[in-house]
Chain A
Amino acid sequence: MAEDLVLDTAIRDWVLIPLSVVMVLIGILRYFVSKLMRSFQVPDHKIVKEGQVIVRARNLRASANFIPPKSFRSRRVYFSNEENGLLFVPKGQAQNAQAQMFSDPNMAMDMMKKNLSMIIPQTLTFAWVNFFFSGFVAAKIPFPLTQRFRSMLQNGIDLSTVDVSYVSSRSWYFLNLFGLRGLFSLILGEENATDDTQRMMQMSGFGFDPSKSLGAEKDGLDIVQHEWALPKFEHRAEAVLKKIVS
């Protein structure tokens, strides 16, 4: 149980290296295909305007202390006013955003295309790995693991006595999947379609982005207490001038 299994070097030549090479090639292929399929998305008026409103509101919150109180108050009213304030989103509209996003044909097509380009190669490669490279020990992980990882890392190997550090090629596939991201950004430059994990994280945070952030900005703005910083500056200027004159 604790003795070392000697793994054939042929495994390294015919399993590990070809698998990595294939994944790199598939990644490059996906990158070029996505470049070809990328359609120019006409930015929507409303979304651009909302983005800019948010930036402006954030600036207002951040530097509120630099402008006179009257101007700050008038700007705050302009933004969070009940009837036509820029940041005010009536409750009903907030729900619509997500529904709209799914019913908008262009956006739905775009999302589908992105999903497909991500899912299909992954599925195919996974099936290929399973078909060809299963049933044997592929590699040994250098650090010891607990028994809980056995089902995840060793599914081709049906011996329960083998140390969990010996893994099947499926785990090598997953390792490559997440690890080649760095390599791709070296080869292909920053924006490449192989950033699956990033995309997956983005998808879960999708949905109501615009109206929620507007509401958040409005709340932030309501909270801000205006404390005019300028009177302090007079004293500071005095100090500066004193230093210069002396």
Chain B
Amino acid sequence: MVSKTEETQLNSLENQVDNGGGGAWEYLCLVRKLKVRRSDKVFKYGLSILNDPKKRSALGPEEWTLYEQVAIAALDCQCLDVTKDCIKVLQKKFPESKRVGRLNGMLLEAKGSWAEAEKAYSSLLEDNSLDQVIHKRRVAMAKAQGNISEAIELLNKYLEIFMADHDAWRELADIYVSLQMYKQAAFCYEELILSQPTVPLYHLAYADVLYTLGGLENLQTAKKYYASTIDLTGGKNTRAPFGICLCTSAIAQVSKGRNREDKESPELQSLAATALEKDYKQRAADKLGLLTSALRSMKF
């Protein structure tokens, strides 16, 4: 994930390039380093560099990396001819290359010929059965074809071997949430929290899943995770205070008959509500009325 400073740097470079100042190559390098998906810009500027023979030769050996980057961006923008040209150039230079084979597979995917792409990927996997990127492409293919259960199966098999790959865990969590398999999604989010405990996004997502699962214990746990999100983001996150208010009222409803344990921060809900009101007043004053009525209905 991209940090805030890197994102601002990227945006400022992008603005600079958009408005005619130079620096296209630095922009492309930064995009490549941060693995951000800005395919239209990459396509436009990368292609302009590649079509200009003077600039192209100025790149030296980096030229081939640029070809690969532009090929992938062209696939994203559905300009398959550009991709084919790029791949042809790369294949002439690196005839037996696995990376070019992978680009070919991606081209077949983009054209929609799933069976051929699957064949291409399997042959690449035969040479090196531990190629992480190819495994992930197969999962992406299964997902694009709508075959979610196969995507889940492939992803699980991938994770059995490469269990420290947190991107894969994230993808799996997304898929489970889309299928409403919340218990499994909770497991995936736990894995993510374990590997990166200071990323508030995962705490928030985990809390959402727990709140959706329901049940007293889950609600209490969800409340704690919303609190940790607030702590990790310094209070800037808007969903977390909402989560706290909802959790508290849900807990109150569920445990109506039994005596509630008030030792856990009773002020938290009122504080969260006040913080929300203040935030809305600052940023979206016209919606303040909606907020106050919603909060009032939540307070028991």
Which one, B161, B165, B226, B234, contacts A49 given CB within 8 A?
Answer: B161
Select from chain A the residue with minimum beta-carbon distance to B274.
A245
A59 B164 Cβ-Cβ under 8 A: yes
Residues 26 to 77 of chain A near chain B (Cβ within 8 Å)? 42-43, 45, 48-49, 52-53, 55-56, 59-60, 62-64, 66-68, 71
A244 within 8 A of B: yes
Cβ contact within 8 Å between A240 and B162: no
Q: Is the interface of A mostly helix, strand, loop or mixed?
A: helix
A60 to B187, CA, bound (A): 13
Q: Is A14 an interface residue (CB 8 A)?
A: no
Q: Contact: A45 with B235, CB < 8 Å?
A: no
Contacts of B231 in A (CB 8 A): 233, 236-237, 240
A242 interface residue, CB < 8 Å from B? yes
Contacts of B165 in A (CB 8 A): 52
Q: Please name the residue on chain B nearest to A244 by beta carbon.
A: B235
Q: How far is the CB of A212 from chain B (nearest CB, A)?
A: 19
Query: Which residue of chain B lies nearest to A47 when distances are taken between CB atoms in the complex?
Result: B130
Query: By the criterion CB–CB under 8 Å, are B235 and A240 in contact?
Result: yes
A241 located at the interface, meaning its Cβ lies under 8 Å from any Cβ of chain B in the complex: yes
Please, which residue of chain A has its CB at the minimum distance from the CB of B263? A231
For the complex, count residues of A whose C-beta is within 8 A of B. Answer: 32
- Complex CA–CA separation, A235 to B197 (angstroms): 18
Q: Which residues of B contact A234 (CB under 8 A)?
A: 223-224, 227, 264-265, 268
Residue of A nearest to B244 (CB): A237
Q: Are A245's CB and B271's CB within 8 A? A: yes
Task: Tell me the minimal C-beta distance from B98 to chain A in angstroms.
Answer: 10
A238 contacts B128, C-beta separation under 8 Å = no
Check A244–B275 contact: CB distance below 8 A.
yes
Interfacial chain B residues near A53, Cβ < 8 Å: 163
List B contacts of A62 (CB < 8 A). Answer: 194, 197
CB-CB contacts below 8 Å: B179-221 with A: 187, 190-191, 193-195, 197, 221
- Given A42-B128, A230-B225, A244-B278, check contact A238 B268 (CB 8 Å): yes
Residues of B within 8 A of A235 (CB): 265
Interfacial chain A residues near B267, Cβ < 8 Å:
238
Are B193 and A67 in contact, with the CB atoms below 8 A?
yes
A163 to B163, CA, bound (A): 62
Cβ–Cβ contact B195 & A230, under 8 A: no
Q: List 11 A-B contacts (CB under 8 A).
A: A43-B130, A55-B163, A62-B197, A63-B194, A68-B190, A234-B268, A237-B231, A238-B227, A240-B231, A241-B271, A245-B278
- Seen from chain A, the residues whose Cβ lies within 8 Å of a Cβ on chain B are 42-43, 45, 48-49, 52-53, 55-56, 59-60, 62-64, 66-68, 71, 230-231, 233-238, 240-245
List the 8 closest pairs (A to B, CB-CB), nearest first: A237-B227, A55-B164, A233-B228, A230-B224, A237-B230, A241-B271, A63-B197, A234-B227
